[in-house]
Amino acid sequence: MTPTLLGRWQTRIVLFATVGALFTLPFALGIVGPDASGIPFLVLFYLALLGLIWDVLYNYLQQFRWDRDWPAVFQLIAGLWEAIFFSYLVEFIDLPGLEPGVPLQWFAIHYSLVWLGMFAATHTLMRILFPYWRFNGGQLF
Amino acid sequence: MNSSQRQEVKLSWEDPVTSEYQNLLVQIPIALGRQLNQMPGEIAQRQVSRVVLNSSAVSRYHALIDWENNSCVIRDRNSKNGILINGQRRKNTILESGDVIEIGPYEIIITWGGDNKKSIFETNRSQIFFNPITNSLDSESEGIPSVVTTASESDRFPPPEFATPLQVSLQDIYTSGLSVDEIDYLTIGAGIGSFVFVDCLRIFGVTADKIIALGIDRKPYSRYKQLCLNSQIPLKERLRSNSDSCPDNIWGFPSYAWREAWHDLLRLRLFDAIGNLWQVFAEPTLAQTYTPRAGNVFDSIDREIKRIGWEKMYRYGRVLAIRKTTDGRYAIAYSRGTRDKRERAFLIANYLYLATGYPAIKFLPDLQAYREETQDFQSVVNAYEAHDYVYENLKKRGGTVLIRGRGIVASRIIQRIYETRRDNPNIGVIHLMRSPKPKGNQFKKAERFVENHFEFQPFNWPKACWGGDLRFQLERADSQQRQSLIADWGGTTTAARKDWRDTIDEGLREGWYKIEFGQVEKVEKEADFLITYIKNKNFKSTIHLQTDYIIDATGLDADVKVSPLLNDLVTHYNLPLNFAGRLAVSNDFEIEQMRNSTGKIYAAGAITLGGPYAAVDSFLGLQYTALRAIESLAASRSPGLKKLSPLNSFQQWLKWLNNRSPDE
Ligand SMILES: Cc1cc2nc3c(=O)[nH]c(=O)nc-3n(C[C@H](O)[C@H](O)[C@H](O)COP(=O)(O)OP(=O)(O)OC[C@H]3O[C@@H](n4cnc5c(N)ncnc54)[C@H](O)[C@@H]3O)c2cc1C
């Protein structure tokens, strides 16, 4: 893919708000995971927020590539990196609303599902619903 | 050369955008740079010839060529990217006639004295045309005539009403007595570009009875397939095309890699399936870029032809002229006769979409001259002409082939020769290049990768030209900036396929493949051989290369004026051309000067290079063009065209998936 910064931001926000929220719902309702709470949504919110900052870095790195592209494998590496960073962050910093010691295995499951859902959506659903999306560097508006 | 002689020198180069030959006769001192006003107008009371080279890799004032102690010296003016002389990095050096100066994407040859006689590269006509009846490349054809003249003036076609007025009236057309049809959407060419446009129209809600595709071939991929086969891409071979660049599917999903993987899976070829998917996942960094097989692309188009009812919309015809009508539409005069039977007709359309492809094939002027002189059309060929007999003969008798050009087509031909060598190892290749290529193009922080003088890039433009930030950059740029950007991103490149790179390494090691540098002076026939005389930099003299065949693999580009139809349109309506000599179009690909009240004309493909989009001549680029044109048509509420909501788009995609007609 060849996203632009604006495209990364827009796509991230839209996907977190839709696919991300959908995959978070079972965790928030307690169908999956420890018990029903708003925490999974808060985690999702922080991930999205941090992601908007990571996007600036990714976009910068893209400039060093002749094709100015972002291979799918980079999407995966970025996804792993964001997860690791976040799990360390909650260990050491008190994010408002999140107590340290979020159960790591549940975070890993929640995060993997959200990430896989969004990864799949960028390669399928986004293209099918928005034919112009891939020509606009991921911009929707 | 002596400074007191104040001789003229000649600078000649191949334009990095259009690959046309540029020649400039100038007096020393010469300043080279990107900005005219940054270069001195005078040095020591001598007027400076300032040469502007448009590219971001060229500094504003890059280099100066001047006399020093009776020698002609080039000095680097602290440029950011430096200069290469005959492939070697130099700060300051004495120049000799015939030296190649490389600055950014420009390779300039400097000559003077006896070397300065009018070069063969200055001749104008150096193309091969498509035969208007058979539509195949024909070295004796002159292209499609724009006017069919016959014995009596009253029988002229297009009729005299087309000759001078800017608008023709419907009444005049109807009184001609010839067949006239009226239609909403008409696309001219009926090749891949037309097909993709019609496909989009259908998906966006237009019914088949509102569309006509006018062209010479029944199948939209006929010409493309012929060029592929001629240039040694058989059906089972892989193209140089992105997996999600699917002319049969506007969404790009499922891409060709997914389809191939699915196909492999059904045949229980699990590893092949995983291999394809791994490629699209990791390309181009950790895996070689996936590209579809030619045959699969044609098959997929065949399926879509049926689905959208292409055959109902296709009409055979050679378009001769286009005029505005007095009622805000366009009149198209076309011939639908054959060699034996003459038949002419008119079409009246509200909206036109021009997708006529390459007007002609470029042919190296020295080879053209050779052919004209000797009438030998067998041993000197263009890679896009049918030339399979060359490989058959090589297989039987062995021999040496000289290849000119270092792009994708050269790679194919080397691959074919490599395969032929398995049957007969007595085959050699001399690859003639104008100058060494130690370093790839540069753009901002990135540089293109080079190996063995081949420059690599997965596709013919950096990927972000199709839908990334480079696309936006080009669209926003003015004409001068566009020229610079296209020069930086374009140029001759080939795909970094492992098998090709290995073949070159192997050939160099075993000695059957050699690279020579130099400029061709002439080509002659001696006894049974072709002799190519070149100026070779290492020996500073003319050497000659003896071969059995010469294959020109230099390129496809040609000026739109070469097409009689487009030339007529451009001259009749005084249309502006862009810096590359192609049709000037708006960001949504409209030829704005052709607006006729509500009527509009759009153009797509190679005839719009140099405009708002770089990758116009590619499947995905043709889809982009079609989408932009349709967006603009929908905004002006053209008949039957609906905006595609996400839900509509999803429904249309399901129809595609289930192979059902778009209007069911
Ligand atoms: C060898 C080769 C390989 C390529 N590989 C790829 C690839 O892998 N991926 C990719 O994305 N792109 C590729 N391209 C580039 C491009 O996608 C194709 O060239 C494509 O066919 C361009 O479509 P088009 O509609 O512009 O032209 P064409 O498909 O050539 O169609 C133009 C048609 O217009 C007709 N025509 C012209 N003048 C008139 C007239 N006056 N009246 C009636 N009809 C007329 C012609 O007969 C022709 O049939 C390749 C090109 C070549 C040559």
Domain count, chain A: 1
Nearest by CB: A2 against B252, B468, B624: B468
SS3 for A125?
helix
Tokens, residue A2: 């060849």
Alpha helices in B161-233 (DSSP H): 170-175, 192-203, 222-230
The reply to whether A126 falls in a domain is yes
Instruction: Please state, rounded to an integer, the average pLDDT across all residues of chain B.
Output: 91
% of chain B exceeding 70 in pLDDT: 94
Q: What value does the mean pLDDT take over residues B516-521?
A: 88
Q: Is the pLDDT of residue B5 over 60?
A: no
Read off the pLDDT of each residue in B417-432 and give the average, rounded to a whole number.
97
Residue to mutate among A70, A77, A128, with most B CBs inside 10 A, is: A128
Instruction: Tell me phi and psi for residue B543, to 5 degrees.
Output: -120, 165
pLDDT of residue B155: 67
Q: Tell me, what's the pLDDT at B150? A: 47
CA B325/CA B348 separation, integer angstroms? 8
**Greater model confidence, B456 or B340:** B456
Query: Ligand 1 centroid vs B525 CA: distance in angstroms?
Result: 34
User: How many whole angstroms separate alpha carbon B143 and alpha carbon B137?
Assistant: 10
Integer Cα distance of A41 and A28 in angstroms: 7
Could you give the dihedral angle defined by the CA atoms of residues B170, B176, B179 and B180, in that order, rounded to the nearest 10 degrees? -10
Closest C-alpha to ligand 1, atom 38:
B356
Question: In angstroms, what is the C-alpha Rg of chain A?
Answer: 15
CB contact under 8 A, A69 and B250: no
SS3 B415: helix
B525 touches B372 (CB < 8 A): no
pLDDT digits (tens, 9 = 90+) for A35-55: 888 999 999 999 999 999 999
Full residue range of the structural domain in which residue A107 is found: 5-136
First and final C-alpha spacing in chain B:
77
Q: What is the dihedral of CA B375, B376, B377, B382, to 10 degrees?
A: -110
With beta carbons under 8 A apart, name residues in chain A contacting B650: 128-129
For residue B351, pLDDT beyond 80: yes
φ, ψ of residue B322 to 5 degrees: the values are: -125, 130
Residue A99 lies in a domain: yes
* Residue B217 CB less than 6 A away from ligand 1: yes
Choose among B280, B284, B471: nearest Cβ to A67. Answer: B284
Give the span between the Cα atoms of B368 and B142, in whole angstroms. 14
Nearest to B446 among A3, A66, A72 (CB): A66
Residue B82, token pair as written in the block: 């430096």
Of B253, B470, B646, the CB nearest to A68: B470
Give the number of A-B residue pairs with CB atoms closer than 8 Å: 94
- CA torsion B374-B377-B380-B386 (nearest 10°) is 170
Residue A94 lies in a domain: yes
B98 lines ligand 1 (CB under 6 A): no
- Is the C-beta atom of B319 inside 6 A of ligand 1? yes
A141 touches chain B (CB under 8 A): no
Going from the Cα of B221 to the center of ligand 1, the distance in angstroms, rounded, reads: 8
Ligand 1 centroid–CA B278 distance in Å is 31
Quote the radius of gyration of chain B (alpha carbons, Å): 26
Supply the DSSP symbol for A17: I
Is residue A141 in some structural domain? no
What is the rounded CA–CA span in Å between residue B118 and residue B141? 27
A74 Cα–ligand 1 center, Å: 34
A122 within a domain of the structure (yes/no): yes
| Cβ B239 under 6 angstroms from ligand 1 | yes
Q: pLDDT at position B483, please?
A: 95
Does A137 contact B447 at a Cβ distance shorter than 8 Å?
no
Say yes or no to pLDDT of B278 above 90: yes
Judging contacts by C-beta atoms under 8 Å, the chain B residues touching residue A62 are: 469
Q: Is the pLDDT of residue B146 over 60?
A: no
Q: What are the angstrom distances between the C-alpha of B136 and each of B131, B141, B329, B361, B489?
A: 6, 10, 32, 11, 31
pLDDT of residue B112: 83
Ligand 1 and B565: CB distance under 6 A:
yes
A137 in contact with B, Cβ within 8 Å: yes
Average pLDDT over residues B543-549: 94
**Residue B122 — pLDDT band, cuts 50, 70, 90?**
low
- Per-residue pLDDT band for B408 (boundaries 50, 70, 90) equals very high
Burial of B575 (0-12, 13-18, 19+ CB in 10 A): middle
* Residue B339 Cα to ligand 1 middle (Å): 24
Q: Side-chain half-sphere of B287: how many Cα atoms within 13 Å?
A: 17
Q: How far is the CA of B105 from the centre of ligand 1 (A)?
A: 27
Secondary structure (3-state) at B525: strand
Mutate to test the pocket of ligand 1, among B188, B195, B223 (most ligand atoms within 8 A of CB): B223
In a domain? residue A33: yes
Q: Flag whether pLDDT at A86 surpasses 50.
A: yes
The answer on pLDDT for B2 being more than 80 is no
Tell if the pTM clears 0.90, that is, is over it: yes
Of B17-26, B224-233, B635-644, least confident by mean pLDDT is B17-26
B655, pLDDT greater than 60: yes
Closest CA to B150 of B305, B346, B342: B342
Is residue B119 pLDDT above 90, yes or no?
A: no
Nearest residue in chain A measured CA to CA from B445: A64
ipTM of the complex: 0.96
A63 CB within 8 Å of a chain B CB: yes
Nearest protein Cα to ligand 1, atom 49: B191
B contacts of A136 (beta carbons < 8 Å): 467
Q: What is the pLDDT of residue B153?
A: 53
Distance B437 CA to ligand 1 centre (A): 30
Task: Say how far apart CA B459 and CA B496 lie, in whole Å.
Answer: 10
pLDDT tens per residue across span B71-92: 999 999 999 999 999 888 999 9
Nearest residue of B to residue A129, measured between CA atoms: B646
CA B2 vs CA B64, B70, B508: distances in Å: 18, 6, 42
Q: Does A18 touch chain B (CB under 8 A)?
A: no
pLDDT score, position A113: 96
CB B443 within 8 A of CB A62: no
Indicate whether residue B537 lines ligand 1 (CB < 6 A): no
